[in-house]
């Protein structure tokens, strides 16, 4: 009888702990942009030489990519995006000389949890 009560108490405590973990936002979090340079929505007096994106968690740089679209939605030829060896959360895209206009960077990455994430950043060069 006492053994049965202890089992039920332990099972109830375990079920409560698992429910709390499952409901926790951190348990379901995926890679999302923490910061970027240039910042999303920025208007720049001079064109940047690179786009840097820092995520809230480590990403798989080998399967990440960034596509840059320029004025009128035309694709801009770039080198591939690269991970930062000093920061597992960061991705950089070297940029060619950019003309004035609005740009949209579409990124795709995968967190170390295996979930694919996508997003878009916008910036304007005057």
CA distances from residue 87 to 57, 83, 91 in whole angstroms, order as listed? 10, 8, 9
Q: What are phi and psi of 65, to 5 degrees?
A: -150, 155
The string of pLDDT tens digits covering residues 28-62 is: 457 889 999 999 999 999 999 999 999 999 999 99
Q: Where are the domains of the chain?
A: 1-29, 31-125
Run of H or E including 123? strand 116-125
The string of pLDDT tens digits covering residues 92-109 is: 999 999 999 999 999 999
Domain 31-125 falls in which CATH fold? Answer: Immunoglobulin-like (2.60.40)
Whole-number pLDDT of residue 100? 97
């Amino acid at each position: 009888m006492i053994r049965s009560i202890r089992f039920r108490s332990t099972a109830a405590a375990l079920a409560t702990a698992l429910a709390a973990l499952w409901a926790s936002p951190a348990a379901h979090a995926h890679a999302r942009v923490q910061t970027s340079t240039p910042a999303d929505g920025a208007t720049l007096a001079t064109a940047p030489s690179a786009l840097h994106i820092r995520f809230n968690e480590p990403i798989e740089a080998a399967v990440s990519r960034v596509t840059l679209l320029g004025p009128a939605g035309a694709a801009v030829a770039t080198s591939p995006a690269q991970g930062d060896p000093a920061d597992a959360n960061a991705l950089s895209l070297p940029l060619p000389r950019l003309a004035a206009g609005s740009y949209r960077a579409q990124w795709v990455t995968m967190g170390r949890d295996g979930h694919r994430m996508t997003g878009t950043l916008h910036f304007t060069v005057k």
